[in-house]
Structure 1
Amino acid sequence: MQEPPTLRRYLKKIALWAIAVYLVAGVVLYFIQDRLLFHPEVLPANYQYKFDVPFQEMLIPVNKKVKLSAVLFNAEKPRGMVLYFHGNSANINRYAKYMPGFTKNGYDVLIMDYREFGKSTGRLTEEALYEDALLMYKVARTRFAPHQIVIYGKSLGTGIATQLASVRDCRRLILETPYYNIGDVASEAAPIYPYSLMLNFRLPTNEFLPKVAAPVVMFHGTDDDTVPYASGEKLTSLFKKGDTLFTIEGGEHNNLNDYPIFHQKLDSVLQL
């Protein structure tokens, strides 16, 4: 039995509207994707950091126009350095509270703000993230040997940390709430778009991880609604012998620091 012409026209109209909404929403997503991914807080150039632990502010020049704002947190008797790559929001101020977890274990910590974050200047691109990470490593190497350098990534910073560890030697790579790649996370929120063709930032942790020679340790909470636990867990299929995933039951994206088990495991890893 044939559908009546009016019904066919009605269904066709609905299909055309659905396609139009899909395309318009896709275009909007494409143009606002960087604002969805990054939430920086800019600081004035004369801003003075104030922390309760010993530190020194650094300005790392990239070229004549671009400079990276960084802070070095000092351990009492440092036996190495942690290169800390932070998440996608705010600036160094937000992450300073995590630094004592490293300094108490005898590690200096160098943390920088990405371009367009804090007091750092320059345009933010994926290539710039990798380039600037190499500069951080170069600073660390003026003070410590590769076997004394731990590369640490939190959230967005896990992809950057993994890329650095894939091209430079280090003592250990530690990833907190890592993702398989940015497309994998985006597809959880809106699975109907071809993200491989749309994304300005891919950050393919899954491509970098097999090239990391150092031991890898990951921490991820089961109730993470920002980077789903499943996205990080997929990386375990790329583990080499000795790599480890510590699962924090009930842990969310930004509260692993509240769990004693997180500190116990992190302390044990840093003491290795």
Structure 2
Amino acid sequence: MAGLFSPASASPAPPSSLKGAGRRAWLGARGRGPLAASGGDVLCRGRGSGRGLVRGAGSGFVGRGGAWAEGRGLVRGQSARRCGGAARGSAATGTATGTATGPGRGAGAARPGSSVSFPFFVDLQRPELLLNNTINLYLTTEPGVTVGIWHTVPSSRGAEAQGKDQRWYEEALADAHPVIIYLHGNGGTRAASHRIQFLKTMGAADFHILALDYRGYGDSSGNPTERGFTTDVLALYDWAKARSGNSSILFWGHSMGTGVATNAARKLQEERGVQVDAVILESPYTDIREAAANMPITKIYRQFPGFEYFILDSLALSDMFFRSNENVKVLACPLLMLHAEDDAVVPLQLGHKLFETARSAYKDKTKVKLITFPEKLGLGHDYISFNPELPALVKDFLNIK
């Protein structure tokens, strides 16, 4: 594992007159030192090295060239593309990844490489190679941004779904089965193996699942930002609401996606006076700063001088907050939290803390529940969806038979 404060290549020191934010901007603009704050390459070491300060194997504190967790970087602006290396294409835009076929894309249009595209060599336009009863579609969430989505229909409709087109899948949303908008964590795309398992598990339990890749992930265009993620989710919510009739719609966030889920639910409630039917948070945290400070992988580095400056403050400089601890104080919809005792990425104590915050704020305490999974199950951070009891636990909370 690379050291948290691994030195960058030698370079001239910044002018002594520069202090604080000015000094950080000077370093960032030149891609020097462990902090490169300009344009979003927040924790990229040096220029074009393609390394985060701490690289986890599958799950970790800092991904390659980015900020928080699960083996890949989150904060990736224009200049952060340099940190991706040749695996993701050219320095500025990446490499075109094939022919566009979904709505909102011209036939044969070349796609710039996205910021986060793991696992590699998966054709996101052909989910049927990995899943039954699933199609791929694209949605334009704002001018210039199109996101990729997989729609899995309930297994009870599997035989009927064979050979059907996107129009049939859209009409199926109104069949009274609940609809999950699935908001994944930071590492990889909607094709990651534990996400495929989630789609299988909840599809078999007769849920519709709409799993999107945020802007900058997978085959979605644009650059990742917290505000942009919220825009993407609300656009998908509006799209689903217009097609789902009286079917309930819930947000299900995992890891980083829990912050995305509470952001979107709060915005719906405060700006539109609309409550999403439920929010489910899998492996949640309070806010991104506290999550970064409490990840077990960072324990040995917390006493080092500059830990807060280089790691925690850089998240705020990049406008990354994901304040679920503030959002849950506002929400009134049913709120279910799921956390494994052996979560080695987001400690269970943060899930407990968020639960207590929500329970204190909710007038109806029965609307808030935390379910923990014993260490002996070995579910960790990513594998709660592998628990065969999960659908029954969720349905019981939602009062679905």
**TM-score band, normalised by shorter chain:** 0.7 to 0.9
Written as runs of structure 1 = structure 2, the 5 A alignment for 1:1-272 is 27=35, 30-32=42-44, 35-37=66-68, 39=72, 44-46=97-99, 47=123, 48-49=125-126, 50-75=129-154, 76=157, 77-94=175-192, 95-144=195-244, 148-168=248-268, 169-188=275-294, 189=298, 190-191=301-302, 192-193=307-308, 197-199=313-315, 200=318, 201-238=320-357, 239=359, 240=362, 241-242=365-366, 243-250=368-375, 251-272=379-400
* Contact 2:141–2:236 (Cα < 8 Å) also in 1: no
Relative to structure 1, the CA distance from residue 158 to residue 57 in structure 2 (aligned partners, 3 Å threshold; closer, same or farther) is: same
Separation (CA, whole Å) in 2 of partners of 1:44 and 1:261: 38
Amino acid corresponding to residue 244 of structure 1 in structure 2: K
Shift of 1:52: 2.8
SS in structure 1 of the partner of residue 286 of structure 2? coil
Aligned residues: 250
Relative to structure 1, the CA distance from residue 185 to residue 112 in structure 2 (aligned partners, 3 Å threshold; closer, same or farther) is: same
Q: Cα deviations across residues 209-265 of structure 1 (Å, max 9, x unaligned)?
A: 112111100000111110111111111122221100001111411122333443431
RMSD of aligned residue pairs (Cα, Å): 2.7
* Contact 1:99–1:109 (Cα < 8 Å) also in 2: yes
Separation (CA, whole Å) in 2 of partners of 1:258 and 1:55: 19
SS in structure 2 of the partner of residue 53 of structure 1? coil
Separation (CA, whole Å) in 2 of partners of 1:163 and 1:101: 26
Q: Cα deviations across residues 131-167 of structure 1 (Å, max 9, x unaligned)?
A: 1111111111112257711110011111001111223
Shift of 1:196: 6.1
Relative to structure 1, the CA distance from residue 176 to residue 35 in structure 2 (aligned partners, 3 Å threshold; closer, same or farther) is: same
Separation (CA, whole Å) in 2 of partners of 1:143 and 1:97: 26
Amino acid corresponding to residue 111 of structure 1 in structure 2: A
* Contact 2:131–2:200 (Cα < 8 Å) also in 1: no
Give the corresponding residue for 1:4: none
Structure with the largest fraction of strand: 1
Amino acid corresponding to residue 285 of structure 2 in structure 1: Y
Structure with the largest fraction of helix: 1
SS in structure 2 of the partner of residue 89 of structure 1? coil
Amino acid corresponding to residue 61 of structure 1 in structure 2: T
Shift of 1:92: 1.1
* Contact 2:214–2:229 (Cα < 8 Å) also in 1: yes
Separation (CA, whole Å) in 2 of partners of 1:258 and 1:81: 20
Range with bigger deviation, 138-147 or 247-256: 138-147
Shift of 1:36: 3.5
* Contact 1:56–1:73 (Cα < 8 Å) also in 2: yes
Shift of 1:45: 4.0
SS in structure 2 of the partner of residue 35 of structure 1? coil
Separation (CA, whole Å) in 1 of partners of 2:182 and 2:147: 14
Shift of 1:104: 2.9
Range with bigger deviation, 194-203 or 53-62: 194-203
- Gaps of at least 5 residues in structure 1 are 1-22
Q: TM-score normalized by structure 1?
A: 0.81
SS in structure 1 of the partner of residue 35 of structure 2? helix
In percent, how many aligned pairs have the same letter? 22
- Gaps of at least 5 residues in structure 2 are 1-23, 25-31, 45-61, 74-86, 89-95, 100-122, 158-174, 269-274
* Contact 2:292–2:312 (Cα < 8 Å) also in 1: no
* Contact 1:26–1:193 (Cα < 8 Å) also in 2: no
Give the corresponding residue for 2:10: none
* Contact 1:177–1:221 (Cα < 8 Å) also in 2: yes
